């Protein structure tokens, strides 16, 4: 395998490892709804990398209620 291909594979591996680390930290220390949404959006086979790519079926109300100030 050419060096350029190995570098590309290594970068994808490190990117995946970083996502898994983020997910593990959220699962351990974050709000369950946020952790579930992150895992569904970023770790799924068709997971998006852009803002707003949370798949349908993710419970957004608990996430949004954390961001809204209570009046």
| Per-residue model confidence as pLDDT tens digits over 24-46 | 999 999 999 999 999 999 998 77
Residue range 49-66: average pLDDT?
87
pLDDT of res. 46? 76
pLDDT of res. 22? 97
Tokens of 23: 């997910």
Distance CA 68, CA 6 (A): 45
Residue range 52-68: average pLDDT?
88
Distance CA 53, CA 58 (A): 11
The answer to whether the CB of 18 falls within 8 A of the CB of 43 is no
Distance CA 43, CA 18 (A): 11
For the chain, give every domain's residue range: 3-67
Residue range 3-26: average pLDDT?
93
Q: With pLDDT > 90 as the criterion, what percentage of the chain qualifies?
A: 59
């Amino acid at each position: 395998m050419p060096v350029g291909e190995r570098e590309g594979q290594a970068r994808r591996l490190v990117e995946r490892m970083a996502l898994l680390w983020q997910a593990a930290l959220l699962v351990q220390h974050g709000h369950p709804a946020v952790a579930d949404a992150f895992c569904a959006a970023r770790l799924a086979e068709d997971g998006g990398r852009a803002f707003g790519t949370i798949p349908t079926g993710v419970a957004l109300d608990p996430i949004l209620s954390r961001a809204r100030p209570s009046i």
